[in-house]
Amino acid sequence: MALRNIVKIDEEKCNGCGRCVNACAEGAIQMIDGKAKLLSEIYCDGLGACLDCCPVDAISIEQREAAEFDAEATQQYLEELARNKRAYEKQSPKKAEGFVCPGSRMMNLDAGQKEDADKSG
């Protein structure tokens, strides 16, 4: 253990928006039960890329005794996340592509139709 910077998430302030999850390139933060959580100290590089994206200031950096950042374990973890995502996407039904509500489809109106109607009336 060493004294180093680690992300601290205030669960009371966290609104569950998930922006910090996307900002954390190491995958150290994940959404659990609707709140952002630091999964493991070894995945947190302590640089704070997640700080500025939090709209409610629920994330801070604290200096404390923590396990060293493990780049190799982080890489393995990210690869596992990617594999799980691909497996999930293969099992999920495809989205309906190109579906348009019939009432919102484009109408092809011939400009000459109005003139013909005006002449007859």
Comparing CA positions, the residue from 46, 16, 14, 13 lying closest to residue 28 is 46
Percentage of residues of the chain with pLDDT beyond 70: 75
Strongest mean pLDDT among 7-11, 64-68, 113-117:
7-11
DSSP state, residue 108 = -
Q: Could you give the domains of the chain?
A: 2-91 (3.30.70.20)
d(CA 72, CA 67): 14
State the pTM of this model: 0.64
Residue 14 and residue 36 in contact, taking contact as beta carbons nearer than 8 Å: yes
| Interval 66-85 mean pLDDT | 87
Sign of CA dihedral 91, 19, 82, 76: negative
User: For 92-114, how does the pLDDT look when each residue is reduced to its tens digit (9 = 90+)?
Assistant: 666 555 555 665 555 566 666 55
Token pair recorded at residue 88: 């999930």
